Amino acid sequence: MSDEATAQNTTKKILVVVTLIALSAIAGLIAFIVVIGMFLGGGSEGNTTAGAACTPGDANTAGAVMPPEYEDFIVAAASESRFSPAVIAAQLEHESGFNPQAQSPAGAKGIAQFMGPAWETFGNGGDIWDPEDAIAAQGRYMAYLRDFMDDHARDEEHLLELVLAGYNAGQGAVRKFGYDLDRMFQSGGYRSETKPYVENIKAAAAGDYTSDCEHGGGAVPEGDIVEASMHLAWDKQVKLPFSGASNHGREAAKPEFVEASTAINNYIHTAYFTDCGVFVATAVILSGVDPDFPVRGTSVQLNYLQNSSKYDVFIPSNEGELQAGDILIVPGHIYIYTGERHEGIDGRAQGASLYTRPPSGHHFYLSDSRGAYFAARYVEG
């Protein structure tokens, strides 16, 4: 072979090797991109991850879902007020649970719960029952309160606190206390109503407030207390500032529980959405397991369980004697044993705690300062 032919042959071999290396590199890069894509949520349809769970952020925040149909109205009201959409949404959740037909015993109406005189001032001739009109009026009222309080605020956070206190109690009440919320919150109803209102809305606005949050929705699962409980309660424990206000816990509770619990009882009493008895009753009744279960009152519920042939009632000595779905109760408290749902101290039970916790993960115990708990197991069915 001539030197020229040898050189050409060598060149061809080099080109082949280079081509193979390049193709290998490209294949490796494609594989890397596929792996990264799957890691970030891509991949085949069968391997896609579920959307964000509708949880309230972490255990100390109280975010919630913003109904998509109201999102544009909320964003517009937030722009008017110069507060965030999360603040406006948190107020609506607290005031009415996003219910345009809500009406309080005191006469507040609509999704933003306007009283007559305030509506005449800020409603601009609109319909108080129309969410678009009412949320726009809320934005105007918040803007007015912002201007009213602005000269007395230390910073933006303090301004929000003053404005929220004014929305709840009236700007005149805030002015009466010299714009000193510490002093205002030491006084009677302002301590039990306005203080938790301000704290809860700040917490909700700081939490996972989103319009694309996915949650179970739909009817309570039938025939299984544990499935019903998991449908109605957050998996992880949620804690709230103490409050006895009637709607306390509404904005932090799972939307499914708010809807279901108000369907079985139209009397919204003190801290209703943190009532342990209401939670258990909602799960037991709407699962269809026991439609006759008392709606609330742990003493009433215990008496019912002990005198009903539907339940085997006993005092367990250890967790091994329990089955998922057992109801644990003592006069003063009630919760549901679920078996292990996840690791952690709140992963084997679900319940609520009046004034401080909406239905969510619950520490498991068989006794407390009130004494030993009875276990009630449904046996008729």
Which residue reads 């603040």 in tokens?
Answer: 87
pLDDT of res. 14: 44
Contact present, 188 and 65 (Cβ < 8 Å): no
CA quadruple 87, 90, 94, 100: dihedral sign: positive
pLDDT of residue 191: 86
262: Cβ contacts below 8 Å, ≥ 6 apart: 97, 268
DSSP 8-state assignment for residue 221: P
Can you spell out the DSSP letters for 242-291? Answer: ----TTTTTTTS-HHHHHHHHHH-----TTGGG-HHHHHHHHHHHTTS-T
Q: What pLDDT, on a 0 to 100 scale, did the predictor assign at position 217? A: 55
CA–CA separation, 355 and 352 (whole Å): 9
Half-sphere exposure of 178 (CA within 13 A, CB side): 3
Q: What is the pairing mode between strands 374-378 and 327-330?
A: antiparallel
Q: What is the pLDDT of residue 210?
A: 47
The tens-digit pLDDT sequence of the chain (381 residues) is 444 444 445 444 444 444 444 444 444 443 333 333 333 322 222 222 223 334 443 333 444 567 888 988 999 999 999 998 889 988 888 888 788 998 887 788 999 999 999 999 999 999 999 999 999 999 999 999 999 999 999 999 999 999 999 999 999 999 999 999 999 999 877 888 898 889 888 877 776 444 444 445 568 899 999 999 999 999 888 888 888 777 788 878 888 999 899 888 767 777 889 999 999 999 999 999 999 999 888 999 999 999 999 999 999 999 999 999 999 999 999 999 999 998 889 999 999 999 889 999 999 999 999 999 999 999 975
Whether the predicted model's global pTM rises above the 0.85 cut: no
Distance CA 94, CA 81 (A): 18
Q: Measuring CA to CA, how many Å separate 60 from each of 258, 291, 357?
A: 19, 34, 10
Q: At what angle do helices 71-81 and 131-149 cross, to 10 degrees?
A: 20
Give the pLDDT of residue 59: 33
Residue 247's pLDDT is what?
79
Beta strands in the chain (DSSP E): 311-314, 327-330, 333-337, 349-353, 357-361, 367-368, 371-372, 374-378
Give the per-residue pLDDT at 21.
44
